[in-house]
Amino acid sequence: MQLFIEHPPYVIAEVGACHNGEFERAIDLLDIAAVSGCRGVKFQLYDADRLSARRHAPHARDIYRRYQLPLSWLPALKAQAKDAHMDLILSVYDHEDLQNALPYADWLKISSFESADTGLLEAASLCGKNLVVSAGMSVLEDMGRLWHFRANSPCRVAILHCVSAYPAPLHDLNLSVIPHEDLDGFSDHSGQRLTGAVAVAYGAKILEVHIRDTHTPEDNPDYPHALGPSDLGAYVKAAVSAQVMGGHGRKEIMPSEQANVRYRVQG
């Protein structure tokens, strides 16, 4: 497919629960993402009662409620992202979330847990926004549906490889699936700052990585797989370097070699 980004890798900083219910922390995390070189910042937009019901997870209602993003934050987050020259990306989990997101989101995101909800995917595709879908917990049949959706969607769709474990162990990352199954990027829960570079080496053009600040409490549910400011900066630099190292894929004499060509022995 012709991906809808220029100059990959495009790194998305996923704030997730690490705003910790504090508006100023959400703004600070957005700024950390910008300084680190991320080109998009993502927040999760959901209603705790609806989300816990649709996922059949009543035990999670209180934790969802603790980290639910207030709708009142959205205008300021949108303005701050624009000032930082970043896209604001919002994860949506049902049709009401989708409507709440539309005035503010530059891109929309569908999580792995909702990636088989064809009604939500189709509704999101009609909104005129770039759409990113994670494909965690998926098998070949699921991928077939997502490939068909991407090929026939009225909007531009990117499918990200994902391992829906928090944190995701390195032996389960299976990054070689990115080129084998024509995936556009990787939603990273490894908590490791080199993983993005490896994913880029396998062909990822979009990376999504969780972030936290230096004061995020260790009992925050996203703490184990989120990167702090220094690790985030290193993550982005390594991913960009991996893209540069990949080159154009043709074997030829490179500019840096030219001065030594005259010394090459011919047999």
**Model confidence pLDDT, tens digit, residues 71-130:** 999 999 999 999 999 999 999 999 999 999 999 999 999 999 999 999 999 999 999 999
Q: Give the model's pLDDT for residue 96.
A: 98
Phi and psi at residue 158, to the nearest 5°: -120, 135
Q: What are the pLDDT digits (tens) for 142-155?
A: 999 999 999 999 99
262 token code pair: 């005259």
Q: Give the model's pLDDT for residue 158.
A: 98
CA distance 68 to 71: 9
User: Which regions in the chain score pLDDT beneath 70?
Assistant: 1-2
Q: Give the model's pLDDT for residue 1.
A: 43
CA distance 35 to 123: 34
Phi and psi at residue 160, to the nearest 5°: -105, 130
Please state, in angstroms and as integers, the Cα–Cα distance from residue 14 to each residue in 32, 41, 52, 91, 114, following that order: 11, 6, 21, 10, 17
209 token code pair: 């990585």
197 token code pair: 């570079």
Closest CA to 19 of 40, 47, 43, 46: 43
CA distance 143 to 160: 11
> Across the chain, which distance is largest between two alpha carbons, in Å?
75
Closest CA to 204 of 218, 223, 187: 187
